[in-house]
Amino acid sequence: MRLSIIKSAHSVSYSVIKSAFINGKRTSVTVEKLGNAEHICKTYGVDDAEAWARDYVAALNKKKETAGIESTITFNPDRAIDADKQRSYNGGYLFLQQIYHELGLDKIAKAIKKKHSFDYNLNSILSRLIYSRIIYPSSKLSSYEQSKKFIEQPDFDLQHIYRSLSILSQESDYIQSALYKNSLKLSKRKTGVVYYDCTNFFFECEQAYEGSLKQYGVSKENRPNPIVQMGLFMDGEGIPLAFCINPGNTNEQLTLKPLEEKLLSDFSMSKFVVCTDAGLSSMDNRKFNNEGDRAYVTTQSLKKIKKHLKEWALDPSGWRLSGSKKLFNINEIDEDMYHDSLFYKDRWINEDGLEQHLIVSYSIKTRNFQRSLRDRQIERAKKLIENDRPQYDHKKQTDFRRLVNVRSCTEDGEIASRKIYELNDGIINEEERYDGFYAVCTNLEGNAEDILKINQRRWEIEDCFRVLKTEFRSRPVYLQRNDRITAHFMTCFIALIVLRYLEKKLDEKYTCKEIIDALKEMDFLKLEGHGYIPTYKNTELIKALHRASGFDTAKEIISITAMKDICAKTKR
């Protein structure tokens, strides 16, 4: 900083100024106006205003070297702001950027660039696609525009984003395996138990084409649109491991083995337990994971097991409880006392030459929840019956409609003049038999309680899909080409890993939505030549983010130099 002296015919004015770069040009900006000579002499009781001003500037420079200075910034209510000039920037992405570099994604992007001949900055594109997917989820066009809100501006064009999608798709296997290996440097991955599940994503179109990933299939959301299917592996801490994208009409049971073989080859994993739901547990998949050092734990539908096993499973006697050697009859227990308890029984069975450990659990809390849910569905079914709605389609037996029976003839067998709707007591009674019961099959010989605990964490992979669809708004998909569709889900996959690691840094005290909302609100007002002024609320979550990441932006103003240092720190 230096002293500025402006002389006029009747007065001499003094100001503190400093050099700054604005729009790429070096200029001077005013830090503080000290007043004219008469004001200085009168206010501070000195005879030489210039000497006092020079001493004041020297003191400011000395203070800046040790602890910084207070800045006085002047605003003119009559001066208009520059047209089309951006003044607000988001800094929440910096916490994501730090994890991005800790995972070595920048090095992965640079390694890919060496294998292909292109000029654009793949690292910059990939990172912005990931940050935007988390903070400003939208289309690729919108992501490009939204990335301009970040403090560090993009150094690529929109066309480069679409070109990079083809490269990312080609390198999908390499990115997944390299990312896994890099993550081992951050923390030990819990891969003793891995979880696998499938979901699908719909497209904003009505036509499926031969050879395209988007095909008509059974939609998880009961939509009529073409869909694409994602298979996802997750480790024991809820962090994604690997994924695959298949056409929407692919049989889910056929997707497990190819992706699991990728874990065996590309990830050098050989000993693990695969946990899946009943829809993915074909006999072929169970036998595949009965080889080598692999094992499986899968949910088992009690409705589909053999009659003698079903009778054993539903028998009220012979139930165990953790920490007790006593055998219980679940029809005779005190339901208030054991409301939160989990009873279980187990046995070995032989199915198609495969020895399996069948474990059945029973929970009063779960039973009550299932019954309350069905009671609400029965009420909705009754309203449907009362309305006698002729547009009801009995072929679509979904949700509460399964509880409605439709008769088109009289009890004498004569053709009725209209359809008659009534509650299907048979279905209601049959479903009540299984309330509170849950079963799993495994080839593990371990303790039944420990195996049940493994299966209880399956909800986390469902939460991964929820984040992808809700927080990341990964569907509907607007892309057409197969390679770009795969790349889209690649960026969603990586974004989920980055967000999960940020959750871990915060000791999992905050939900994904809370974290994303906080990052989105971390805006700064940039004052050219001075610095960045935070405009966000300094909440406990923000404080936790700063503590976990080792830098702090919650200051009244952050100088241009200090912000550059923070940005550089997140890339180390």
Candidates 326, 327, 310, 309; CA nearest to 318 is 327
Pairing state of beta strands 415-423 and 404-409?
Answer: antiparallel
Whether residue 286 is found in the same domain as residue 380: no
Q: State pLDDT tens for residues 318-350.
A: 999 988 889 999 999 999 999 999 999 999 999
In a domain, 551, yes or no: no
**Residue 218 in this model has a pLDDT that exceeds 90:** no
DSSP per residue over 62-124, as a string?
Answer: HHHHHT---------TTSPPPTT---EEE-THHHHHHHHHHTTHHHHHHHHHHHS---S-HHH
Candidates 236, 135, 202; CA nearest to 458 is 236
**End of a domain among 18, 48, 66?**
66
SS3 per residue for 423-467:
ECHHHHHHHHCCCCEEEEEECCCCCHHHHHHHHHCCHHHHHHHHH
Give the C-alpha separation, 170 to 159, whole Å.
18
pLDDT of residue 224: 85
Whether residue 277 is found in the same domain as residue 404: no
In a domain, 211, yes or no: yes
Determine contact, residues 263/233, Cβ cutoff 8 Å: yes
Q: State pLDDT tens for residues 296-309.
A: 999 999 999 999 99
The token duo for 70 is 């207070």
In a domain, 24, yes or no: yes
**Residue 484 in this model has a pLDDT that exceeds 90:** yes
Gyration radius from the chain CA atoms: 32
The token duo for 390 is 């002729």
Whether residue 227 is found in the same domain as residue 321: yes
Whether residue 443 is found in the same domain as residue 348: yes
**End of a domain among 416, 432, 448?**
432
Structural domain total, the chain: 3
In a domain, 91, yes or no: no
Mean pLDDT across 210-238:
90
With cut-offs at 50, 70 and 90, classify the pLDDT of residue 390. Answer: very low
pLDDT of residue 558: 93
Q: State pLDDT tens for residues 37-71.
A: 888 888 888 889 889 899 888 888 877 655 555 66
Whether residue 400 is found in the same domain as residue 260: no
Residue 505's SS3 state is helix
Whether residue 318 is found in the same domain as residue 455: yes
**End of a domain among 25, 40, 66?**
66
Whether residue 14 is found in the same domain as residue 39: yes
The DSSP code for 469 is: I
The CA-based angle 294-298-302, given to 5 degrees, is 145
pTM over 0.85: no
Residue 537's SS3 state is coil
User: 56-65, 86-95, 441-450 — which is least confidently predicted?
Assistant: 56-65
Pairing state of beta strands 193-202 and 273-276?
Answer: parallel
Candidates 33, 106, 31; CA nearest to 61 is 31
Give the C-alpha separation, 257 to 289, whole Å.
9
Domain span holding position 386: 366-432
With cut-offs at 50, 70 and 90, classify the pLDDT of residue 194. Answer: very high
CA distances from 430 to 303, 308, 425 (A): 10, 17, 8
The CA-based angle 126-127-132, given to 5 degrees, is 100
Candidates 498, 528, 542; CA nearest to 82 is 528
Whether residue 350 is found in the same domain as residue 389: no
**Residue 392 in this model has a pLDDT that exceeds 70:** no
Give the C-alpha separation, 348 to 71, whole Å.
76
The token duo for 385 is 């019956």
With cut-offs at 50, 70 and 90, classify the pLDDT of residue 524. Answer: very high
Length reported for the chain: 572
Reported as type and span, the H/E element at residue 563 is helix 560-569
548: buried, middle or exposed (CB in 10 Å: 19+, 13-18, 0-12)? middle
Whether residue 211 is found in the same domain as residue 341: yes
Whether residue 275 is found in the same domain as residue 415: no
Mean pLDDT across 265-270:
91
pLDDT of residue 22: 67
In a domain, 212, yes or no: yes
In a domain, 503, yes or no: no
In a domain, 342, yes or no: yes
Whether residue 317 is found in the same domain as residue 222: yes
Whether residue 397 is found in the same domain as residue 335: no
Give the C-alpha separation, 26 to 321, whole Å.
76
In a domain, 242, yes or no: yes
Mean pLDDT, all residues of the chain: 89
Tell me if the bond preceding 137 is cis, omega within 30° of 0.
no
Give the C-alpha separation, 562 to 55, whole Å.
26
